[in-house]
């Protein structure tokens, strides 16, 4: 329910897609699938966009790209978010969907990695979310905040909304609904 009006959520999962896949000029299967989903969604729909969590993991995405390229985490994160949001914004010119971009929830501490690596993950998640909010604001796009509801004082998951070490469960729906009602 959004402002007491019923809406239907129709998930369109794109397995393995990262914000990175939308952040550059290269054509790829993730863009093709997403374009098709957007084209087949009635014009003017509310579309919730949720990418970035995979980009912020310790063993892939931004951290790995920084280590391989020698570029700073800040530089890679900013470029990733910038390109990702710009791609969706440009795709939306015809359909005029109301885009809602989810930020990345706080990560769970991963015992497979050192404390330093885990702290690097929290840093990347916080940067990603900061850049996402800034870019959405600049383009007057909507952002849905799950991070502030999932983070503890150390930057890790508070355990309140995760169903496992990576994914949020249905307890977040009321948080999302409250934010949708405010837009």
What predicted TM-score, i.e. pTM, was given to this entire model? 0.93
Q: Which of 68, 82, 60 is nearest to 132 (CA)?
A: 82
Structure token digits, residue 88: 């969706």
| Residue 13 maps to a domain | no
| Residue 7 maps to a domain | no
Q: Please give the tally of structural domains in the chain.
A: 1
- pLDDT tens profile 91-102: 999 899 999 999
| Residue 40 maps to a domain | yes
d(CA 75, CA 90): 22
When pLDDT is cut at 50, 70 and 90, the band that residue 80 belongs to is very high
- pLDDT tens profile 129-153: 999 999 999 999 999 999 999 999 9
- Judge contact between 109 and 59, C-beta under 8 A: no
| Residue 4 maps to a domain | no
CATH of the domain at 150: 3.40.50.1110
| Residue 17 maps to a domain | no
| Residue 77 maps to a domain | yes
d(CA 104, CA 157): 11
CB proximity list for 68: less than 8 A, separation 6 or greater? none
Structural domain containing residue 158: 22-181
d(CA 38, CA 35): 5
The total of other beta-carbon atoms located within 10 Å of residue 151's CB is 20
């Amino acid at each position: 329910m959004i402002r007491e009006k019923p809406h239907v959520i129709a998930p369109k999962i794109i397995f393995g897609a990262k914000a990175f896949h939308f952040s550059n000029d290269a054509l790829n299967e993730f863009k093709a699938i997403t374009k098709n989903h957007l084209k087949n969604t009635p014009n003017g729909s509310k579309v919730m966009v949720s990418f970035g969590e995979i980009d912020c993991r310790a063993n892939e995405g931004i951290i790995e790209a920084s280590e391989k390229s020698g570029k700073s985490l800040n530089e890679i994160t900013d470029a990733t978010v910038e390109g990702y949001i710009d791609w969706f914004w440009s795709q939306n010119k015809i359909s005029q969907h109301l885009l809602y971009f989810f930020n990345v929830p706080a990560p769970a501490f991963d015992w497979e990695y050192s404390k330093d690596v885990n702290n690097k993950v929290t840093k990347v998640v916080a940067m990603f979310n900061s850049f996402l909010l800034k870019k959405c604001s600049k383009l007057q796009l909507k952002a849905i905040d799950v991070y502030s509801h999932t983070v503890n004082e150390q930057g890790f998951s508070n355990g309140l909304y995760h169903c496992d070490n990576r994914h949020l469960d249905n307890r977040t729906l009321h948080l999302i609904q409250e934010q949708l009602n405010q837009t």
